């Protein structure tokens, strides 16, 4: 359920006609619904109501727009960040440093120091050397860095290979078999306050089974660590809940997920951290686009829209499906391909898809584009950086401007020796 619905034959974002946003802001443009974000934030929290000590860290990589972060901060969420840039965003949006978790397999020494400077609540260590470096940096300042060790449980998340993170072959975390020895060495370092473990096996998970299998392994690891004399007080269970991109997708609802977590972690006696991204943001945004041409072809016609792979990369990267819906559907349909203007055949959003009949100049949306949409945009082909708007009832605000190719060009220099 979201707040992008047909009303009197045309699509609205909450109470704002999308055609109005197109006329006033132009296309392509991302449109977010405040109400949908807030409902998802509340639903995820409610799903975990039977877990006693819960900390929520929104994975801001999914949608790091400052307005989104402010809204999430107001909803009581901290942030899961994966770079110094994301850390500064979370702080700028008003998220308290103590509620920020710093994940990521390649945090530089500079970023580790930045996290310490800012006083963040948790570093998720991905390898032993990172822990050694963090301890050195922290000890030199007379600090002890709060941290957990990310383990790789070698579980198949059953998702796209490019967004799976918990198989042994993936780059993330330390092998769960090696975790006790690494944990013991890190726990002895003077600059670390090692509190527990973390795991995140992948994104767009449509089944609880791999998460449950992972959590059982984590539970055993916690027991083993305690048996070895460590005081484990915190476990970070990551993010990963999937959303419905297609009508037939059956996502795991937060209630079902929360019930499983409550059951599996009942005896753990730890603070539980969660890092949801897509489940909060995915269906809270759409990408509004305009049809430039409908080009006949021997097979199916090509609907060429003004959004492209640089604005929404997921179809090109993961063959991802995003529903395409006309803003003013006539009721007629046709089978067509949908593509953007970028000079790559990969800039194709759909092939041979049954869609609303559209013609030159018509508006349409790609649904479920609130997560990993604008944040993955680029200026490839010297296209503008796509703008973003946030709708709230019958009003909306531009929350990220369209950045023109000219502005980007102004940041470039041709040296005088050329
Ligand atoms: C460490 C970590 N936490 C959280 C997330 C958020 O994942 P999702 O958007 O699938 O909830 C990711 C991305 O998969 C991640 O790598
Ligand atoms: N960018 C990916 C998700 C990556 C998850 C990051 N850990 C997607 O759009 O599906």
What is the number of structural domains in the chain? 2
Whether 270 and 290 map to the same domain: the answer is no
pLDDT of residue 255: 96
Say whether 12 counts as a known binding-site residue: no
Q: Is the whole model's pTM more than 0.95, yes or no?
A: yes
Element (H, E) at 146: strand 145-152
Residue 234 has pLDDT above 80, yes or no: yes
Pairing of β 10-13 and β 16-17? antiparallel
Domain boundary among 224, 258, 274: 274
Specify the pLDDT at position 15. 98
Q: Is residue 179 part of a domain?
A: yes
Q: Which helix (H) or strand (E) holds 412?
A: none
CATH code where residue 15 lies: 2.40.37.10
User: Tokens 């449950």 — which residue?
Assistant: 212
CB 311 within 8 A of CB 32: no
In a domain, residue 67? The reply is no
Domain contains 64: no
The answer, yes or no, to whether any atom of ligand 2 lies below 6 A from the CB of 375, is no
238 within ligand 1 shell (Cβ under 6 A): yes
**How many residues belong to the chain?**
418
Look up the domain containing 343 and give its range.
Answer: 4-32+282-410
Residues 290 and 386 in one domain: yes
**CATH code for the domain in which residue 122 is found:** 3.20.20.10
User: In terms of domains, do 270 and 122 share one?
Assistant: yes
DSSP assigned state of 202: B
My answer on whether 230 and 288 are in the same domain is no
Between the CA atoms of 99, 104, 109 and 112, what dihedral angle is there, to the nearest 10 degrees? 10
278 labelled ligand-binding? yes
Encode pLDDT of 246-300 as tens digits: 999 999 999 999 999 999 999 999 999 999 999 999 999 999 999 999 999 999 9
| Mode of pairing for the β-strands spanning 16-17 and 29-33 | unpaired
Residues 108 and 254 in one domain: yes
- The ligand placed nearest to the CA atom of residue 205 is 1
Note whether residue 45 is domain-resident: no
Percentage with pLDDT > 70 across the chain: 100
- In-domain check, residue 349: yes
ipTM of predicted complex = 0.98
What is the spatial distance between Cα 100 and Cα 57, in angstroms, rounded to a whole number? 7
Answer yes or no: is the C-beta of 203 below 6 A from any ligand 2 atom. yes
Residues 270 and 294 both lie in one domain: no
- Ligand 2 atom closest to residue 160's alpha carbon, by position in its atom list: 10
pLDDT of the residue at 156: 84
73 Cα–ligand 1 center, Å = 18
Q: Is the CB of 240 under 6 A from ligand 1?
A: yes
Active site residues: 343
pLDDT in tens, 383-405: 999 999 999 999 999 999 999 99
Q: How far is the CA of 162 from the centre of ligand 2 (A)?
A: 8
Say what the pLDDT of residue 167 is: 85
**113 and 132 within one domain:** yes
The answer on pLDDT for 410 being more than 60 is yes
Residues 307 and 260 occupy one common structural domain: no
What pLDDT, on the 0 to 100 scale, is given for residue 1?
53
Interval 315-372: pLDDT, tens: 999 999 999 999 999 999 999 999 999 999 999 999 999 999 999 999 999 999 999 9
pLDDT band at 168 (very low <50, low <70, confident <90, very high): confident
Which residues, in sequence order, are CB contacts of 246 under 8 Å at separation 6+?
Answer: 321, 323
Q: Averaged over 138-153, what is the pLDDT? A: 97
Decide: 189 in ligand 2 pocket, CB within 6 A: no
> Is residue 168, in this structure, part of any structural domain at all?
yes
Does residue 53 lie in a domain region?
Answer: no
Peptide bond into 235 cis (omega under 30): no
Q: Is residue 99 part of a domain?
A: no
pLDDT tens digits, residue range 75-101?
999 999 999 999 999 999 999 999 999
Residue 112 sits in the same domain as residue 255: yes
How many angstroms separate the Cα of 125 from the Cα of each of 95, 132, 216, 272, 343? 21, 10, 21, 17, 40
Cα separation, 271 vs 168, whole angstroms: 26
Asked if residue 388 belongs to a known ligand binding site, the reply is no
Looking at the structure, tell me whether residues 110 and 231 fall in a common domain.
yes
In this structure, the answer to whether residues 125 and 185 fall within a common structural domain is yes
CA dihedral 220, 226, 229, 234 (to 10 degrees): 120
Atom 8 of ligand 2, residue of closest alpha carbon: 372
Q: What is the pLDDT at residue 177?
A: 95
pLDDT tens by residue, 322-337 = 999 999 999 999 999 9
> 220, 241, 274: which is the final residue of a domain?
274
**C-alpha–C-alpha distance, residues 280 and 37, integer Å:** 6
Phi, psi (degrees; rounded to nearest 5) at 344 = -145, 140
Does 111 share its domain with 152?
yes
pLDDT tens digits, one per residue of 110-126: 999 999 999 999 999 99
| Domain end among 256, 274, 292 | 274
Please tell me what DSSP assigns to residue 329: -
pLDDT, residue 159, reads: 86
Q: Which residue in the block uniquely carries the two structure tokens 């430039």?
A: 292
The pLDDT mean for the chain works out to 97
- pLDDT tens digits, one per residue of 12-63: 999 999 999 999 999 999 999 999 999 999 999 999 999 999 999 999 999 9
């Amino acid at each position: 359920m979201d707040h992008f619905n047909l009303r009197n034959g045309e699509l609205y974002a909450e109470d704002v006609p999308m055609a109005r946003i197109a006329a006033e802001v132009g296309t392509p443009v991302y449109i977010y619904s405040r109400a949908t974000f807030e409902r998802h934030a509340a639903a995820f929290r409610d799903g975990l109501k039977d877990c006693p000590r819960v900390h929520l860290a929104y994975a801001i990589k999914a949608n790091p727009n400052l307005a989104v972060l402010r809204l999430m901060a107001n909803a009581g969420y901290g942030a899961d960040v994966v770079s110094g840039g994301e850390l500064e965003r979370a702080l700028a949006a008003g998220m308290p440093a103590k509620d920020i978790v710093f994940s990521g397999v390649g945090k530089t020494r500079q970023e580790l120091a930045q996290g310490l400077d800012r006083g963040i609540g948790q570093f998720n260590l991905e390898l032993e050397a990172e822990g050694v470096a963090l301890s050195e940096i922290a000890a030199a300042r007379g600090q002890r860095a709060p941290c957990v060790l990310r383990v790789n449980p070698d579980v198949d998340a059953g998702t796209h290979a490019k967004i799976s993170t918990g198989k042994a072959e993936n780059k993330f975390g330390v092998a769960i078999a090696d975790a006790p020895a690494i944990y013991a060495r890190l726990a002895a370092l003077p600059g670390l306050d090692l509190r527990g473990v973390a795991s995140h096996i992948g994104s767009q998970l449509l089944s609880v089974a791999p998460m449950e299998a992972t959590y059982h392994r984590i539970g055993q690891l916690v027991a083993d660590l305690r048996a070895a004399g460590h005081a484990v007080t915190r476990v970070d269970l990551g993010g990963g809940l999937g959303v419905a991109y297609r009508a037939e997708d059956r996502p795991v609802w937060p209630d079902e997920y929360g019930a499983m977590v409550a059951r599996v972690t009942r005896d753990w006696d730890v603070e539980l951290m969660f890092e949801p991204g897509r489940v909060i943001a995915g269906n809270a945004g759409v990408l509004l686009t305009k049809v430039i041409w409908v080009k006949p072809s021997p097979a199916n016609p090509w609907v060429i829209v003004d959004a492209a792979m640089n604005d929404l990369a997921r179809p090109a990267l993961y063959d991802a499906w995003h529903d395409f819906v006309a803003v003013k559907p006539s009721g007629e349909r046709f089978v067509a391909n949908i593509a953007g203007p970028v000079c790559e055949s990969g800039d194709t959003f759909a092939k041979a898809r049954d869609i609303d009949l559209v013609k030159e100049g018509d508006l349409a949306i790609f649904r479920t584009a609130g997560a990993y949409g604008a944040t993955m945009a680029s200026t490839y082909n010297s296209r503008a950086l796509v703008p973003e708007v946030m709708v709230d009832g019958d009003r909306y605000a531009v929350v990220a401007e369209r950045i023109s190719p000219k502005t980007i060009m102004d940041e470039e220099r041709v040296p005088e020796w050329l």
